[in-house]
Amino acid sequence: MTIGADAIVVGGGIHGCSTALHLCLAGIKPVLIEKDYDGRHASGVNAGGVRQLARHIPEIPLSIRSMGIWERISELVDDDCSFESHGQVLVAENDDELATCRARVAELNALGFTHEELIGVAELRRLVPAVADSCPGGVVSRRDGAANPAQTTTAFRRKAERLGAIVREGVAATNIRQSDGLWHVDAGADSYAAPVLVNAAGAWAGRIAADLGEPVPVETVAPMLMITSRVPHFIDPVVILRGRKLSFKQFSNGTVLIGGGHLATPDQDRNETVLDWKGLAISARTVFELFPVMRDASIVRAWAGIEARTKDDLPVFGPSALHKGLYHQFGFSLHGFQLGPGAGAVMAELITNGGTQTRIGDLGIDRFHPSTL
């Protein structure tokens, strides 16, 4: 049985769900197809960082666009998504790292971006009083914060459904093909047809792109996280480091979430990951060195989520270079959660208007075309 739709979105992470919602708001009723359940992979199990701080310059306009949506997230999805805005602080552990921070902020200011602010030791101590005395300063992005990733992804999916999106969970999108100006996708016993197809399939999106003649140098990765036992409240902002791999935040119940980029071994065919306990130990040791208050805490649980990382660590975002009606939205390379709300809005603009005022030109799939390599 073939079912007609205005658009087909493959992938039920934060990006697919956001795009489905914004298409509904634009009067386009999509079908969203997710092989597991929405938020099953990276979108539901990441650190929840809502971060403009320390982004690659080509994705800053999209990040800024998204930040404006985060600040009114309840109006959009009827859920606060547990979003809190206490800022994010990048800590320099020595003078050389602080010099790098100074150069970064100067570069952004020259480009017209003012969201990153260089801070010295006094402001660092005010924002993060428990940090080690040896740290000389860093950078703060004061509007940044964190949210609950699973709650957020579910809120986007739920609102999209209320506005008319068809959501198919637990069935894989297969046999993707184009015929007579329509994209056809099988999902279980049904087949859907629509003039628009959005490839937002996360770690599986590279396979779809390759099958459609647009291969991308993308790898499957699995960033690890762990949660600690409760410790007395000592920090409000999210903290990341300039040099070593680390990000962490403290919840209201006293537990601390530790991440930062150490990777597990993913098996995307089996939906499984194997944790790297040595990597987790390095993250834990870094926290204990930087924050003495954490030295009596214990690790309660650890996990990893599967996602895609491109060769240049930038997402593939925008229309296909080969096919009419095909759009790509994947490869967010361990930093896509904050971008989700804005990316959905921009994708809906691309589909309905043929363009957007948000600068995304450096994120297109055409940068991987053989003629540009």
Model confidence pLDDT, tens digit, residues 110-137:
999 999 999 999 999 999 999 999 999 9
pLDDT of residue 260: 82
DSSP string, 39-94: TSSHHHHS--EE--TT--GGGHHHHHHHHHHHTTHHHHHSS-TT-B---EEEEE-S
CA–CA separation, 224 and 270 (whole Å): 18
pLDDT of residue 372: 46
Q: Which amino acid is at 162?
A: R
> What average pLDDT does range 52-72 have in this prediction?
98
Contact 232, 272 (CB under 8 A): no
Distance (Å) of CA 330 to CA 335, 336, 364: 11, 9, 11
Listed in sequence order, the residues at least 6 apart from 311 whose beta carbon sits closer than 8 Å to its beta carbon are 217, 218, 368
Contact 181, 310 (CB under 8 A): no
Question: pTM of the full predicted structure?
Answer: 0.96
Contact 65, 342 (CB under 8 A): yes
Q: What is the pLDDT of residues 83-114, one digit of tens each?
A: 999 999 999 999 999 999 999 999 999 999 99
> What kind and span of H or E run contains 3?
strand 2-4
Q: What is the pLDDT of residues 305-352, one digit of tens each?
A: 999 999 999 999 999 999 999 999 999 999 999 999 999 999 999 999
H-only helix segments in 275-329: 277-290
Q: What is the pLDDT of residues 144-166, one digit of tens each?
A: 999 999 999 999 999 999 999 99
Number of other residues whose CB lies within 10 A of the CB of residue 76: 20
Residue 66: is its pLDDT beyond 50? yes
Measured at the CA of 44, the angle between CA 352 and CA 276, to 5 degrees, comes to 130
